Amino acid sequence: MADYQGRLIEYLGAGGVRFALVVRQVGEKLQIIDERGKHDRIAAHQVITIHPVKPDPAELPQIVRQLQARIQPIKEEEVDTELLWETVRDEIREYRIEELADHYFANRDPVRVSALFRALLEDALHFKRKGIIFIPRTEQHVSDQLLAIRRRREKQALRQQALAWMRRVLQADDTVEVPADMVSLLHQVEDYLLRRKANEVVHLLNEVSEESTAKEVAFELLLKTGRLDPDADPLLVIAGIEERFPRKVLEQAERLVPFQPEPERRDFSSLLSFSIDDEDTREIDDALTVRVHGDRVIVGVHIADVAHFVAKGDPLDEEAHRRGASIYMPTRTVSMFPPQLAYELASLNQGEWRPTMSFEIEFDATGQVVDWRLWRGQITVTRRLSYAEADQWLGSSVGDQVAEHLRRLHRIAQQLLIERLKRGAIVIRRPELKIRVRDGRIAIKVIDPRSPSRQLVGEFMILANRLAAQHAARQGVPIIFRVQDPPHHEPEFSGHIIEYDPIQISRVLKGMRRSRLSLSPQPHAGLGLDVYTQLTSPIRRFADVIIQRQLVAHLADQPLPYQPEELLRVLATAESTEREMRAIERQSTRFWALRYLAEERREDTFEAIVVEPIDGGYAVELADLFLRGHLSAEIKHERGERVRVRIERVDPRQDVLRFVEVASVC
């Protein structure tokens, strides 16, 4: 056994090669002071080499520095581990470091042994290490590893080339031509973003930009290389919302048979009936009828009977459940059901027989509900009206029967609103933007919440939903009720109509509690109702299909499709999905509104309302477009103050809208 007592050694520890002074030796155990002055214990088999000096502990740091200064140049300039490997590769066995040093150096000494060991420690290509023993790799292994290294380097070079090219594309102002060596990369980007196929390109996309997600980068790349339509909605694409329906869903829709009148349904086809919707609406869920009987007015609220066509658990039902709701984007509509059903067979189109769930509601001369019935009905809609057309009829003095019916309905709707307000309803009339993007052109329309026809339709849909909830509660039909607890703000807002005022509206919304689902009937404070559910938009909302299906089965004296626990579970999922869809709609509308500002009104000045202090400036809302942005202002402003602003920066992709002040309005 070697004598280590008092000797300077080098050993292999957890942190690599270290120097140490052996202060005591007990068999194979060595007590040491290492180069950092720390006491430790090591095994003799960890020792790499022994230096001839026997230093005093105080001299150790200086001697180590001197030895390191000699070892490093030899390691870097004299040692070639590949050459050593070629010398010993014909005899694959275990080699001690001294033996390898004898093969390589004419004169072996501890310094050269140390240099060689340190070099071999870094060369995993040619030698395998086993403690302080080295084994030459086989020629095949070295060859395979060299090939792998070359490929990794080539891949890394291609990776850097791809990253540089993608960054140039993102910075480009116009469409970029794709070089041949990047076509395959773009195919992977398309697979990742459009076909939801996982591949390695996501790692590259994550490196391209620190400010954007992989999906956002992928969208921009495909857009700027002409792989996407210029009007493609980024939120729709990035969210992975698929417009196309699975084949089995389309095939089932094609097999659906158009509705034919059924004797067991109540027939409303002899009455003058009309639907009121936006001009471009193709999913027509509801229609109205009016007939006068003495001093009573009998109003029919007819809801498309989607349950007639779609059974629980069939492919159409499962796809609608997955989608949750139709999505209305500025660039397109993505319907919940295939067009064959949503736009044709179920939609209450003018002149076509359609199955309905029909509420027949009797009002007295004061507009109070005195009686009502719920039927499985059928109808042929006489007239399709847009909101604009209905408003014209309501504003005219023409004695046409449609105009007379509309005026009757409007008077009743006003009374219904008054009754709800008496019960504490809060009505917020905030204008909304309706944006359409067609052929690259952005058209913006402001929807006036004070439109008489919109108020009319809204009140009768609220009434139908309340009556459906009452029917279910009285008949013991399990459905999901929509409940809202009283607001926790000042009672001054309850029972009021809040006209457009961004500050007051913000206060009201902050105080209102979120509505929730319940298996038991409870009040809905925001609507001023004792009980409420929703089933008036079954073509557009899956949650409404569920409630309608339950009530239709009850009316037809058939087994109920859902038990209470299943109802709550299915409807909660549908609600969650729909909330996501509505969030995407809001984000998309804002994106295209900001794009409109950037392209059409970049140099304009605007009137804005100061909402609140924020981030060293103010949150302001444009008075004509109802868009919020950040105002950088050194002048102090009060909430509600109107200021004149111009755009400082607008970036639709980053959702940035910043203003600077031009002049105060008042």
d(CA 513, CA 517): 13
> What domain range includes position 37?
8-137
Long-range contacts made by residues 585-590, C-beta under 8 angstroms, separation at least 24? 585/327, 585/328, 585/329, 587/235, 587/655, 588/233, 588/235, 588/236, 588/329, 588/330, 588/331, 589/330, 589/433, 589/435, 590/627, 590/655
One domain for residues 321 and 436 = yes
d(CA 324, CA 306): 15
One domain for residues 124 and 202 = no
Are the C-beta atoms of 377 and 355 separated by less than 8 Å? yes
Report pLDDT for 489.
Answer: 63
Low-confidence spans in the chain with pLDDT less than 70: 1, 489-492, 663-666
Report if residue 593 sits inside a domain. no
Contacts of 596 (CB under 8 A, 6+ apart): 435, 442, 444
One domain for residues 17 and 123 = yes
Report if residue 568 sits inside a domain. yes
d(CA 631, CA 620): 6
Report if residue 69 sits inside a domain. yes
299, 373, 460, 499 from 414: Cα distances, Å: 14, 22, 10, 16
Report if residue 233 sits inside a domain. no
One domain for residues 514 and 608 = no
One domain for residues 330 and 190 = no
One domain for residues 169 and 119 = no
One domain for residues 488 and 518 = yes
Positions of E strands within 463-604: 481-483, 496-498, 516-518
The CATH number of residue 610's host domain is 2.40.50.140
Report pLDDT for 555.
Answer: 95
Report if residue 352 sits inside a domain. yes
pTM attached to this predicted model? 0.74
Residue 649, token pair as written in the block: 């920066």
Report if residue 234 sits inside a domain. no
Report pLDDT for 1.
Answer: 65
Residue where a domain stops, chosen among 536, 564, 588:
588
One domain for residues 466 and 406 = yes
Residue where a domain stops, chosen among 553, 588, 623:
588
Residue where a domain stops, chosen among 557, 588, 619:
588
DSSP state of 179: P
One domain for residues 218 and 323 = no
Structurally, the chain folds into a number of domains equal to 4
One domain for residues 644 and 542 = no
Report if residue 75 sits inside a domain. yes
Closest C-alpha among 206, 205, 188 to residue 197: 188
One domain for residues 217 and 349 = no
Report if residue 146 sits inside a domain. no
One domain for residues 432 and 486 = yes
Report pLDDT for 487.
Answer: 85
